[in-house]
Amino acid sequence: MNLFEIEELPALDKEIFAIILKHKNIEIKKIISNTLKTPQEFCQKEDEFVVLLKGCVKIKINGEIKKLKAGDYLFIPANTLHTLIKTKKIAIWLAIHIY
């Protein structure tokens, strides 16, 4: 398995989520976002640590807009509303959910 391989490309303005590992209180997902132009809101019940592996994105969290590029990471506490504003082309994320 390779984090940078794209087995299936999501449609424009969509994302694909694939569970890589689920163990005890942790779930690791690979997320592929394809040129998002329509903002998408998320609010998980669990803590989330994300690393952007490829691409550039704009995300709004706690009223602040953050621009992330490949290699940037972000911790999102449980029950925190966050909005993925847009991505440029394909973005690949590694998301670690902590229950």
| pLDDT tens profile 7-21 | 899 999 999 999 999
Model confidence pTM above 0.75? yes
Tokens of 95: 């998301």
Domain boundaries, the chain: 14-98
| Largest distance between two CA atoms of the chain | 37
pLDDT confidence band for 47 (50 / 70 / 90): very high
| pLDDT tens profile 71-99 | 999 999 999 999 999 998 899 999 999 99
Q: How many angstroms separate the Cα of 42 from the Cα of each of 4, 25, 92?
A: 24, 20, 17
- The superfamily CATH assigns to domain 14-98 is Jelly Rolls (2.60.120.10)
